Structure formats: structure tokens, C-alpha cells
Structure 1
């Protein structure tokens, strides 16, 4: 597979430098690290840090900014960042109010984030952690114990970041983030797999007339290979899998992400979104916020995922609060 890169070993570092050069007003790279830190950190607020393997852009660095993350740590492609890199991010954003780590439920991420938290605690920094496990498709996969963390992580970033920006305590921000994790669910589908730079092999094999239902964001195969179906049929299948997990009832409010996996045209995502919202309306469920586009990808995988967050008045307030990042901006 052809890629616009130089050497495979340099892709993460050169990507991060390219991001900083494109958005010097937004963040800076900590020297000698893979950490991007928000410029003009707010004083005396809880720091919010997330991260994971590269290849999911704009996650996670694209969500660094006012009202969301204060720092993001990038590992190698589809590989967890190291604890020492995470520690540098924690130290960089600590303003004395503590730091919340937002971690997707992948074994390497969870282990390394926990080690970084312990190292930070040894240096006198209060750290809490929330683990996102929104994927309804697969449990106890090759990469996880329990369910995987996928695009629902973006809503955790948003609500935790907004609460921290408002001045909530570390305990309060963690409680809100944990509530989001309990009330957000996702599921994805792929038409074509991703390929890690330099690997020479796709993540899984799929025929031209097939789709892989329930894929992860590291090129993992899903729970079922099915024949190619229409966008409306796919919307119905995703809604059928995701909504029961949230126990939604008529009149409930939601926020929705129709997420591209990296190589899916916006045309197709909006077609998928069209039927998803019809289905929600038919069930009497309201969508108060909708995001359509690439938010958490898997390199050049062709496909999409559906994420639904059940809203309360508090979650609605924070998910719609202003934020300024390169991947998601809400103005006053």
C-alpha cells in the first residue's frame, strides 16, 4: 500500500512537528517527547491528559485546546505511549489541582497510564484515571480485557475538559467522566482494512463484497463478516446493536457521532447519518448534538462507527460548552 511518508520509523515525530507548525497558536511539543501541550494553560484547574497509539488522528492531539485536553501523548502507530512520556505530560499540565488521565481500554494503554500515574503520585501530583470501554461489539479481544475504548472517548474528553475549565475539582471531574463512560456506546464497521506503515500487511482480509462488523481501531477484525449491505441497512444494524445498551426510552436526549475510520468520504457518512437520525426520531429519541466526520480513525481504514451518548441536563451542558481545538470547535 502506498503512503506519503519518509521512513516508517519517523512518521510519529514528523507528524507531530507538522501539527505544531500548522497550529503554533494551539500547542507546543515538549522537547524530546511525543507530548503536545496546550498553549496558555488555565491557572489552578484540573489538568486533562489523554493519548494512545498514533494512527487515530485527529485523536488525540487534535482535541488539545481550551475546553478539552491540556495535553496528548502519542505512541508509535497502534502502540501505547511509554509511561515516562505520559509522566512528562502530567507534569506539564499540573497546576496544583491534580490531573485526570483519560484512557481507552486497551491492555497496553491501561498498564502504561497506571504506571505513569504512580510515578506522578510519587512526585506529589494528585492523579485520577478514567477508562473508556464504549465498544459494544467485542469483549476480551486480543488487545483488551473487557470492552474496547473507541470513539466514545471523544465525548469523555469534551465533558471532562469542560468541567475542568469551569473549575470543578479533580474528584468532581472524574465522577462526571465516569458517568459518561457508563452512558456512551459505540460500534464500527469496515469495508477495507488499515495497514501500519512499513508492515506490508493489512490488519485483516476482506473480500470486495463483504463488510467487517464490529471492528476495533487498531485494525482488529470484528465480530462478524457480512455481505455488503446498503447504508440504510447498515444504519439499522448499528442502531440495533448500540441503543439497547443505553436503555433509551421515548423522549430521551442524545448526542451522536457518525465517525469516519479514515478513508470514508463525507458523502457516505452523511448518508449513514441520514438514516440513523430517522431511526432515532421513529423511536422518539432526540439528538441534541451530532458530529459527522473523522474523529477517531484507524489510518486509511474504510468504514464508519456510530457513537451514542445518553444525555442528562448536566452532560448536555458540558458537551455543548465552548471549546477551541483543531478537530472540534464550539463558539460562545
Structure 2
């Protein structure tokens, strides 16, 4: 089968389209013929081994000289090709979507995943739309769930036009919150179109110096200090920290993890609740919840660009360097 292969850390120029052996499903796995896969910031972080601290903290993913799994990609959608002997939820021919987990391997014609990381594809979506959901949608849903968002609360999404942000805006709205999205000028209309009640253009206004206070601030950018974020929270407000940051020519020591670590260390000593999403759980239960939201018309994946499998290096470069909005999807 064809797959995007990487043998050492570096830029997307190192990614190659190669012929590799097709995987074989274990007893608890499903073999899927991939029709589409999504690009996440996670892909270029692993591709570059960036930041260095992640190589020490996430050993199942990061090796010494390169990623432990040589084929990139985590999110996918496709049709079941074969099932393991212990799999009962899926049959050959089923349309599914899911996340490979720490193993990666979705930028390929076939991928294996355990059955607890899969769900039936939302009936009203294309394969491309479904592939855009798993990691970004799970991150948005779990962050807002952990924060306990309630109807009528004020929720701010910093990075509202990104992959996770576009899901967070819609999910927060589905929970009954009044949502403010922060984005650049070119994305104001997009963020408003997916349901944000208020949109802050960060090129013209600094939300950390405004008068509005928020019950929940979901940060996906890591471009402000912990103190600046806390300044705009209500006295009992919740701050959710979930990565962010931009790439550079060389891996950084901490990158966006610096803010996350600061939040973890200071969480016990501040009046606000500080949540850090360092490891978002993946499960069929979360995917089923997202499918229900999609099929109810409350969440619609937003796709910026699609690329064929052979152009995966360019797709990752676009996400890494060009600040893609919403999701970028690979068609297989």
C-alpha cells in the first residue's frame, strides 16, 4: 500500500510516499480502507520532535532520533476491510471514523485501529468531513465538559478559527453558552458564521484589556501569560489550556508546554480553576457523542483545504506555516 513515511525528525521535506506492507488487524482491531485523513498540529509537532520536552514526556510517541511510528496521521474515515476475532461492533463494509491513537499511521491507504477508538461515521457527512472530527472535536468536547459549561455562561475561545476552535465554538453554543471567539480579521466572518455571539479581531483589539469577564476561557493559542488570561475571568472562572504556539526552524525546549506547565504548577495557588489538556482521551464514547451532535445539526466540520495523499508534505507545511483555518484534510 501507499503511505507517507518518515524515518527521522525534521521538516515536511523529509516525508516520502512509499510502498509499505498493508497492516493486519489484531484480534481487537479493525482494518480500514482509508478514504480521508485529517492534518493536526500534532502531526508537525511529532514530525519535528518539537518541543524537546515532549520527547521526554510522551515516550510512546517520540523516539530518540525520530518518531516511534514512521507513518504520520491520527484521524481518518473510511470503510471496514476486515475485523479481528474479538470485534463485534463492526462488520466489513461499515463506514467508520476514528483515531489511531498514539500509534499514528492514518496517512496511508489502509490503517488498523482498536475497536474502542472507532465509531460509525455520521450519516450526514462525507468521508472528508468525518475525518476532520476525531482529535480536534474530542479536544473541544472534553475541554468544555471538564469545565462544566452551563447554559447562559460566558465562554471565550482564543483561537476560534482553528481546527479545535471551530468545534469549540459550536459545541459551547450547543451547551447553551454565550460564545465569544477570538481570531484574525480574515476569519471574523467564518467564526461568526459557525455561531459565535461575539467576535474579537485580535489585530484590532486585545481581549485581555477589555471589560468583559468570562466564566470559561478556552485557550488554543498560548499567546498570553497566565496572569493575562486570569484577568478576564469571573472570580469563579475556569481557564482551559490546550497547547498552541507556532513552529520555528528548530525545535524549542518548552514551546506552548511552558504555559501548560506554569498552569499546572500554579493551579493550586490561584482562586481560578486551571485545567490543562495534556492528554486528550480518545474513545468510541466520545466519537459517538460527536456523531450525535453532528447528526442533530449542532456541529458542522469546517474544511479549509483538501490535498491528495501524495501532497501530504505540502498539507502539513500549510498547517504548520500558513496558519490554516479550520481543518485540512488528505484524500486517499
For CA contacts below 8 A with separation 6 or more, give which structure has more relative contact order. 2
Q: TM-score, normalised by structure 2?
A: 0.31
